[in-house]
Amino acid sequence: MKAFYLDKFKYNLDKNQQMIQFLVEHENELSEKIHVLISHILNAHEIWNTRILKVPTQYGVWQLQNWKEMLEVDIKNYEISLSILESKELDANVDYITSTGEHYSNSIQDLLFHVINHSNYHRAQINSELKSLGLKPLITDYVFYKRK
């Protein structure tokens, strides 16, 4: 199962890095919505990592990230997720409190899968917004990533 997650987090990093680089290059052409969504992808990934590790989070759910720091934040998130994969039992449960104060418990593997799924969802929203602004959406589909 760890190999599955290693592959998916590598894919997630690749597509986030590609998206961030494109957005930084077109920063002056973008809507505020895009800045909010790409920041949220990074913030949520960091928040889920910290929930799993039971350490304080650095970011708010909707906090805007600095364009110049996004690539580095994404790499740090990836590296922490890899350390979680190496050091934690994926079927172990994590109790956590959401940003709205609700208590939940989920397995680490479910939380990690959520990070990947959540990132895909918001990258799709960004692509839709790019298209509406007359910019070419990026190809971020997993099957395209895996094609040789």
Which are the contacts of 112, defined by CB distance < 8 A and separation ≥ 6?
5, 9, 48, 52, 81, 84, 85, 90
Q: For the chain, what are the domain ranges?
A: 2-146
Q: What is the CATH number of domain 2-146?
A: 1.20.120.450
In tens, the pLDDT along 31-61 reads 999 999 999 999 999 999 999 999 999 999 9
pTM, 2 dp: 0.97
Rg (CA), the chain: 15
Residue 57: CB atoms within 10 Å: 15
In tens, the pLDDT along 92-142 reads 999 999 999 999 999 999 999 999 999 999 999 999 999 999 999 999 999
